[in-house]
């Protein structure tokens, strides 16, 4: 999916792609939450949501990188990429932790 994502990044507005994929991922996660609240969460739902989220991320990644190049200070793209990667990792860990705590509270 990264190849179609790259083609989309070349042709579409990067911000719209990033925002659109974020909205799509929010819908995916909302479906998982609704399924859990209805008491029907299963491995199949989790795997399907994970696959859909992965596809969305693969489509989004080239547009993120293009935005980083656009907004990076000239000559500092390496530092910008490193900061983005570090913050992305922290957000992934914090999101998983917060999700687990919230799910346990239900």
Q: Rounded to an integer, what distance in angstroms lies between the CA atom of residue 51 and that of residue 68?
A: 25
Q: Would you say residue 100 has pLDDT above 70?
A: yes
List the alpha helices (DSSP H) in 1-106.
Answer: 2-11, 14-37, 43-71, 77-105
Q: Would you say residue 2 has pLDDT above 70?
A: no
pLDDT for 43: 95
pLDDT for 96: 87
Q: Rounded to an integer, what distance in angstroms lies between the CA atom of residue 24 and that of residue 88?
A: 18
pTM passes above 0.85? no
Q: Rounded to an integer, what distance in angstroms lies between the CA atom of residue 49 and that of residue 54?
A: 8
48 by Cβ neighbours in 10 Å (0-12 / 13-18 / 19+) ranks as middle
pLDDT for 1: 62
Q: Would you say residue 20 has pLDDT above 90?
A: yes
pLDDT in tens, 39-91: 999 999 999 999 999 999 998 988 988 889 888 998 999 999 999 999 989 99
Phi then psi for 74, rounded to 5 degrees? -50, 130
Look at 6 and 64; give whichever has higher pLDDT: 64
Report the range of poorest mean pLDDT among 5-19, 34-48, 88-102: 5-19
């Amino acid at each position: 999916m990264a190849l179609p994502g790259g083609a989309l990044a070349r042709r579409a507005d990067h911000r719209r792609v990033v925002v659109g994929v974020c909205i799509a991922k929010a819908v995916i996660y909302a479906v998982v939450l609704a399924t859990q609240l209805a008491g029907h969460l299963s491995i199949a739902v989790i795997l399907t949501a994970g696959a859909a989220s992965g596809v969305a991320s693969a489509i989004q990644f080239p547009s993120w990188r293009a935005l980083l190049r656009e907004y990076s200070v000239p000559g500092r793209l390496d530092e910008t990429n490193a900061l983005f990667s570090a913050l992305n990792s922290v957000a992934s860990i914090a999101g998983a932790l917060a999700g687990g705590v919230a799910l346990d509270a239900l």
